Amino acid sequence: MIYHVTTQQLWDDAQQQGFYAHPSLQKEGFIHNCSMEQLPGVLERYYNEVQGLILIHINEEKLQAVLKYELAPSVNEMFPHIFGVINLEAIVQTEAL
């Protein structure tokens, strides 16, 4: 299982479109994700005072897009990156953060 932090608006958009696409896909070529162990650091570094966040639980085996683990030099950790939209069938749970 991998995880992605998003906003309620982006999650609502995904349900209407039939897939999830974060703006980073267009800007950087992939969607950022993390493991459960990496989640506290991700929340602290990038979402520290952001309200109304949603945590998406993604089953990697159900993904249709390419998943690669790549090094994030700023924290010297390997993070899961999804190179394409996330098909909704791969999203097995969502929860408010």
Averaged confidence pLDDT in the chain: 96
Once rounded to an integer, what is the mean pLDDT over residues 70-94? Answer: 96
H helical segments located in 1-97: 8-17, 23-28, 39-46
CATH of domain 2-96: 3.20.170.20
The predicted-structure confidence for 23-59, as pLDDT tens digits, reads as follows 999 999 999 999 999 999 999 999 998 999 999 999 9
Q: What is the pLDDT of residue 54?
A: 97
Percentage of the chain with pLDDT > 90? 95
Judged on CB neighbours under 10 Å (0-12, 13-18, 19+), 20 is buried
Residue 17 in tokens = 């479109």
Q: What is the pLDDT of residue 22?
A: 94
Domain extent listing, the chain: 2-96
Q: What is the pLDDT of residue 38?
A: 97
